[in-house]
Structure 1
Amino acid sequence: MRRFARTMGAAALALAVVGGTAGWAAGDSQAVVTGPPPGTAAWRADSSAGRPLPDPQTAPPAEVARFFAGLDETRRRELLRAHPLVVGNLEGAPLPLRYEANRLAVIATGEARYASLAAQGRRILAFDPRGRGQVAEVFGDLEHAAHVSVIVPGSDNDATSHDAPRTPATGPAGMAKSLRAATGGQGAVIAWTGYTTPVGVGLDAAGGRLAEAGAVRLARFTAGLDAVGAPDPVLFCHSYGSVVCGLAARHTDASDIVVFGSPGMRAGHVSALRTGARVWAARGPSDWIADVPNVEVGGIGHGADPASPAFGARRVPAADVQGHTGYFAPGTRSLAAFATIAKGESR
């Protein structure tokens, strides 16, 4: 009975923290954007190839890759022009085709808030304008990269904020750029905001609903990388993004999963993630995430602290990290360790 009372007390504390801890803010409940991209109905009805096109929702990425391998360049470009939103988000489709499709899709929205994403030379690997928008951008040459890293961000990230001014080395794109610079330009880094993130840190951030939907999308995304011949990725998962990575871990072929500023991975121990990936964790001394109780009761909270020795993850040095978003700041020990992991040189 006492143990139950302590557990419920911790859960109550978690809710109180969500509402009042410094660094946390009230959040609005978000409608999950998931499923196939806009334009899927027209794609499914397209009979110009004389056979059904691979279904964006159900076709495995490997099947999509085989389909495009059997098309000549003229036919590929016909599909790109007719269905840019589908081709741009179709896991397993050729990378250059997706970049061009997403450029056309961004332009077609006619929205100023997305216009910069269509600039020549940018490699936009995914773009979905529904809701707050989802986006993934590649930094480096993904087609020929020997190493690939994927940044999975937490709350308050979406397509509308992707190009918004930020403190350097923060936000998905800033982290990706900083990591690639720290590796000396080796490999490719993807800033992946491919799921509906919480807004603020309210009940959405304290619960697993958005993470569960995000995990499905992340698993399919990594399967798409595999289908086009990319090496097994390293996942760098920040804050609520680490909840997404925890739920997706058993369904990806990631070589390493690195979590930082994590509220938990919905697992009591690294073994419960059921992944062959090496799991790493970092938490800076001034990161306010340390004030969040590590409980999971009635769907609230995300469980054990991945940075605690008891969790069993490998530790990443972070003694010089400032705040909740400083893990990729140039010169920090955490960034140096991240670069080593990204290059496959860690032990």
Structure 2
Amino acid sequence: MRRFTRTLVTAAVAVAAVVGTAGWASGDSQRAVTGPPPGADAWRADTEGGRPLPDPAAASPGEVARFFAALDEGAQRRLLHRHPLVVGNLDGAPLPLRYEANRLAVAATGEARYASLAAPDRQVLAFDPRGRGQVAEVFGDLAHAAHVSVVVPGSDNDASRHDDRRREGTGPAGMARSLRTAAGGGTAVIAWTGYTTPVGVGLDAADGRLAKAGAVRLARFTAGLDAVGAPDPVLFCHSYGSVVCGLAARDTDATDVVVLGSPGMRAGSAAALHTGARVWAARGPSDWIADVPHVEFAGIGHGADPASPAFGARRVPAADVQGHTGYFASGTRSLAAFAAIAKGELR
């Protein structure tokens, strides 16, 4: 009875911390964007050379890759120009085709907030304008990289804030650029703002609803990398992004899952993630995430602290990290360790 009472008290404290402060109350509830992008119905109704096109919602990335491999360049480009939003988001489609399709799709929105993504030097691997917008961008040569990393960001990120030039090494694109610079030329890094993130620190950030939807998208995205011959990735998961990675881990072929500033992974231990990947955790001394109760009750909270010894993750040095977003800052021990993990040098 006493143990049950302690559990209820802990849960009550966690819920109060989530819903009872001005900070948590500032969050706005978000509707998860899921499924194939706009234009999927027109794509399904189309054919190429008399052949039906793979259903964006049902075809596996491997099936998509085989479909495009059977087409000549002319047929591929016809599909690109007829259906840029679909081709640009179709996991398993050839990389150069997706880059070009997304330049067209971004330009077609006519929105100034996305304009920079259409520049010729940007390698946008996915772009979905629905809701607040989702985007995935490649830094480096993904087609020939010996090592691939995927940065999975947390709250308040979307297509318009993907690369808004915050402090160095912050934001999805900033983190990816910093890691790519530290890891060197043989590594490609993808900034994956590919799910609907929470806004602020309201209930969306405290429950797993958006993370569950994001985990499905992340697992399919990594399957798409595999379908085009990319190396198995390392996942770098920041803040709420670590909740997404925790739920997706068993369904990806990641070699390593690295969480930083994590509120929890919806698992009681690294072993409970049921992944063959090595699991790493970093938390700086001034990161406010340490004050978040690491419990889960009635769907609220994300469970055990990945940075605690009991969780069983490998520790990443982070004693010189400043705040919640400083993990990719140049010169930090955490960034040096991240680069070594990305290159397979730290095991």
Please, what TM-score do these two structures have when normalized by structure 1?
Answer: 0.98
Offset of 1:8 from its aligned partner?
2.2
Describe how 1:81-230 pairs up with structure 2 within 5 A.
81-230=81-230
SS at the partner of 1:323?
Answer: coil
Offset of 1:212 from its aligned partner?
0.3
Matched to 1:41, the amino acid is: D
Describe how 1:267-346 pairs up with structure 2 within 5 A.
267-346=267-346
Matched to 1:74, the amino acid is: G
Whether the aligned pair in 2 keeps the contact of 1:18 and 1:26 (CA below 8 Å) is no
Q: Identity over the aligned pairs, expressed in percent?
A: 82
Matched to 1:72, the amino acid is: D
Whether the aligned pair in 2 keeps the contact of 1:145 and 1:187 (CA below 8 Å) is yes
Residue 238 of structure 1 is matched in structure 2 by: 238
Whole-angstrom distance in 1 between the partners of 2:109 and 2:9: 49
Whole-angstrom distance in 1 between the partners of 2:13 and 2:292: 9
Unaligned runs of 5+ in 2: none
SS at the partner of 2:52?
Answer: coil
Describe how 1:68-79 pairs up with structure 2 within 5 A.
68-79=68-79
Whole-angstrom distance in 1 between the partners of 2:109 and 2:315: 44
Offset of 1:12 from its aligned partner?
2.2
Whether the aligned pair in 1 keeps the contact of 2:246 and 2:266 (CA below 8 Å) is yes
1:65 aligns with 2:65: yes
Whole-angstrom distance in 2 between the partners of 1:15 and 1:111: 39
Residue 251 of structure 1 is matched in structure 2 by: 251
Matched to 1:150, the amino acid is: V
Residue 2 of structure 1 is matched in structure 2 by: 2
Matched to 2:144, the amino acid is: H
1:53 aligns with 2:57: no
Whether the aligned pair in 1 keeps the contact of 2:23 and 2:202 (CA below 8 Å) is no
Offset of 1:47 from its aligned partner?
2.4
SS at the partner of 2:253?
Answer: coil
Q: State the Cα deviation string for residues 188-242 of structure 1 (Å, max 9, x = none).
A: 0000000000001111010000000000000000000000000000000000000
Matched to 2:156, the amino acid is: D
Whole-angstrom distance in 2 between the partners of 1:327 and 1:48: 47
Offset of 1:22 from its aligned partner?
9.0
Whole-angstrom distance in 2 between the partners of 1:200 and 1:186: 36
- Provide closer, same or farther for how the CA distance between residues 25 and 181 of structure 1 changes in structure 2, counting only shifts above 3 A: farther
Offset of 1:185 from its aligned partner?
2.9
SS at the partner of 1:321?
Answer: coil
Whole-angstrom distance in 1 between the partners of 2:291 and 2:125: 36
- Provide closer, same or farther for how the CA distance between residues 292 and 131 of structure 1 changes in structure 2, counting only shifts above 3 A: same
CA RMSD of aligned residues (A): 1.2
Whether the aligned pair in 2 keeps the contact of 1:38 and 1:86 (CA below 8 Å) is yes
SS at the partner of 2:136?
Answer: strand
Whether the aligned pair in 2 keeps the contact of 1:153 and 1:238 (CA below 8 Å) is yes
Whole-angstrom distance in 1 between the partners of 2:332 and 2:2: 43
Whole-angstrom distance in 1 between the partners of 2:21 and 2:256: 32
SS at the partner of 1:141?
Answer: coil
Whether the aligned pair in 2 keeps the contact of 1:116 and 1:163 (CA below 8 Å) is no
Q: State the Cα deviation string for residues 125-171 of structure 1 (Å, max 9, x = none).
A: 00000000000000000000000000000000000112323111001
Matched to 2:244, the amino acid is: V
Matched to 1:314, the amino acid is: R
Whether the aligned pair in 1 keeps the contact of 2:165 and 2:171 (CA below 8 Å) is no
| Number of equivalences | 347
1:40 aligns with 2:45: no
Matched to 1:107, the amino acid is: A
Whether the aligned pair in 2 keeps the contact of 1:19 and 1:26 (CA below 8 Å) is no
Runs (4+) of structure 1 exceeding 6 A deviation are none
Whole-angstrom distance in 2 between the partners of 1:240 and 1:22: 19
- Provide closer, same or farther for how the CA distance between residues 157 and 25 of structure 1 changes in structure 2, counting only shifts above 3 A: farther
Whether the aligned pair in 2 keeps the contact of 1:62 and 1:92 (CA below 8 Å) is yes
- Provide closer, same or farther for how the CA distance between residues 6 and 135 of structure 1 changes in structure 2, counting only shifts above 3 A: same
